[in-house]
Amino acid sequence: MKVAIKAIEYYLPTCVENGKSLKADNPDWRIGDIEEKTGIKNRYIAEENETAVDMAEHAARKLLSSEIKPDDVDFVILVTQSPDYALPTSACILQDRLKLKTSCLAFDVNLGCSGFVYGLAIASSLISAGLVKSGLLVCSDTYTKFIDKHDRTCRPLFSDGAAATLLTSSADDLIGPFELGSDGSGFDKLIVKSSGAHEMQNQTQEKKLYMEGSSVFMFTMDMVPKCVNGLLKKANKEIDDIDLFVFHQASKLVIDSIIRRLDLPENKVFTNYQNVGNTVSATIPIALCDILRDKGLKSGSQVMLVGFGVGYSWGGCIVQWGPEA
C-alpha cells in the first residue's frame, strides 16, 4: 500500500502505580514473583474523571501542534473498548474537540490488543482507495477503570494510555501485507460482563474485567506463530529478512514465550512493557514511538507488527520504514 507512517505521539496519565501500590492493597501478594513473571514495574492509571477521549485528545494534539494542520486531517479513527458513551461515537467527540473540519471521517473501532494493526489496515485502505490523503489513527483505552484492585490476574498487567499515529499517502509501497483473523469462540475469556445490552438488566453484577489467563496464553502461543509465518509467506520473506519485531506488549512471559516458539533473535524484538505496562491497542504505537525517539530505525528497515488478544483477535503487518517517518 502506498501509505506511510509520518509520525507517532503518545500520552500516559500522570498517576503511576508500582509494586508498592499493589502491596498496599494486597498484603498477601508476593510482588517480587509477580514482577518477575510479568516483567512490568510501572502502570499508568487514568484519573477518576479522565476518559479515553481525554487521553486521545492529549496524544492527537501533539501531532496537530507539530506535524499536521487540523484542516489537513481527512479522517480520525479511534480504536477503543472503553468509549466515553455507548453512543454517540467517541471519534465524533474527538473530531469536535480537535476542531477538525466537518468533512473529516470519524468512527470508532471496537478492538483491543489487535486494534492498531486492524486500524492500520483500515486507514491504509482508505488512503489507497483515494478517499482520503492523510489522517489520524488513535488508540486509547482506560481498562483500569474496570479492574478490581484485588484482581491478581489483571491489575499487575494493564495500564491506561493513548497513542496517535499520522498516516499519509506515499510514493512508495511502505505498509503491508496484512494477516488478520479472529476466533469469537474465545469471547468470554477476556470480557467485561454486564457492560452491554446483552446483560443490561443484570444490576447485581459489577462491570469488572475478567481474564482467564491460561486460555488467553494458550491462544496466543497457538495463533501468534501462525500469524507470523503466514505473514512471512505472503510477503515472500524469511525471519532473517525482518529487522525488528514489535509485538503487542502483553507481558514478559508472553513475549519471552513467543521468542522461544519462533526462535527469534532477542536483539530483534523490542520491549517496553517494563515501564509502560499493557496499554491494550496502544502498546504497539507507543513502542514504535519509543523506538523512533531512540533512533532505533533506519530508512528501509523491515518492521513486523503483531497484535493479539481480546476477541479473540489477531493481526500482523510488515512496515518498511521510509524517509517520511
Of 139, 154, 227, 278, the catalytic one is 278
CB atoms within 10 A of CB 31: 15
Phi, psi of 45 (to 5 degrees): -120, 120
Asked if residue 151 lies in contact with residue 320, where contact means CB atoms within 8 angstroms, the answer is: no
Of 104, 154, 227, 248, the catalytic one is 248
Integer Cα distance of 291 and 140 in angstroms: 20
Integer Cα distance of 312 and 18 in angstroms: 29
- Nearest to residue 44, comparing CAs of 265, 317, 300, 274? 274
Q: Pairing between strand 161-169 and 175-182?
A: unpaired
User: How many residues does this entry show for the chain?
Assistant: 325
Integer Cα distance of 130 and 1 in angstroms: 12
Of 113, 154, 227, 289, the catalytic one is 113
Q: Is 113 marked active-site?
A: yes
Integer Cα distance of 126 and 145 in angstroms: 33
Q: Is 202 marked active-site?
A: no
Active site positions, annotated? 113, 248, 278
